[in-house]
Structure 1
Amino acid sequence: MHKPLLLALCLSLPAAAQNFSGPAPQGPPLTADSLQNPGVPTGTLSDKLSLTSRTYDGMTSNYWIYVPAQYDPKTPAAVMVFNDGGGYIDRKGNHPALNVIDNLIAQHKIPVMIAVFTDPGDISGAPGTPTYKFVDAYSKKWSRTLKDSMRSTEYDTVSDRYARFLRDELLPAVSAKYNLRKDAYSHAITGMSSGGITSLNAAWQLPDEFSRVISWIGSFTAIQWNEDPNVPDGGQDYPEKVLREPHRNIRVWLQDGSNDQENNRYGSWPLANIRMANALKLKSYDFHFSFGLGPHSPVEGAAEFPEEMIWLWRDYDPAHTEQTYAQDPAEATRPPFRVSIANREAH
Structure 2
Amino acid sequence: MLATLVAIALCIADVAAQPGARQPGDYPLTADSRVQAGVPHGRLEGPFEFHSRVFAGTVRRYWIYVPVQYDGSRPASLLVFQDGQRATNPQGSLRVQNVLDNLIHRGEIPVTIGLFITPGNRSAHYPDDLGMSNPDHRAEEYDALDDRYARMLVEEVLPLLDARFRLADDPAQRAIGGTSSGAICAFTVAWHRPDVFGKVISMIGSYTSIGYRPAQDGKPMVPGGDLYPGLVRKSPIRPLRIFLQDGANDLDNEHGHWFLANQQMLAALHWANAHADSEGDRGPRYDVAHAWGDGGHSDAHGGALLPDILRWLWRDAPTAAEPPAG
State the 1:18 CA deviation.
9.1
Q: Distance in 1 between matches of 2:121 and 2:211?
A: 18
Q: Report the residue type matching 1:159 in the other structure.
A: D
**Does the Cα contact within 8 Å between 1:158 and 1:231 map onto a contact in 2?**
no
Partner of 1:282: 271
| Identity in percent | 42
Q: Distance in 2 between matches of 1:210 and 1:227?
A: 31
Partner of 1:308: 309
Distance verdict in 2 for CA 1:24–1:264, change over 3 Å: farther
Residues 1-347 of structure 1 aligned to structure 2 (within 5 Å): 14=10, 15=13, 25-125=24-124, 148-226=135-213, 229=219, 232-261=222-251, 264-284=253-273, 285-317=286-318, 321=325
Q: Distance in 2 between matches of 1:293 and 1:268?
A: 14
Q: Report the residue type matching 2:231 in the other structure.
A: K
Q: Report the residue type matching 1:251 in the other structure.
A: R
Q: How many residues align?
A: 290
Partner of 2:280: none
State the 1:95 CA deviation.
1.8
**Does the Cα contact within 8 Å between 2:57 and 2:123 map onto a contact in 1?**
no
Q: Report the residue type matching 1:209 in the other structure.
A: V
Q: Distance in 2 between matches of 1:173 and 1:242?
A: 32
Q: Distance in 2 between matches of 1:227 and 1:202?
A: 24
SS of 2:238's partner is coil
Distance verdict in 2 for CA 1:319–1:47, change over 3 Å: closer
State the 1:74 CA deviation.
2.7
State the 1:108 CA deviation.
1.0
Distance verdict in 2 for CA 1:29–1:65, change over 3 Å: same
TM-score by structure 1 length?
0.78
1:240-265, CA deviations, whole angstroms, 9 ceiling, x for partnerless residues? Answer: 1111001000000000000101x511
**Does the Cα contact within 8 Å between 2:243 and 2:309 map onto a contact in 1?**
yes
Give the unaligned 5+ runs of structure 2: 1-7, 126-133, 274-285
Give the unaligned 5+ runs of structure 1: 1-11, 127-146, 323-347
State the 1:36 CA deviation.
0.8
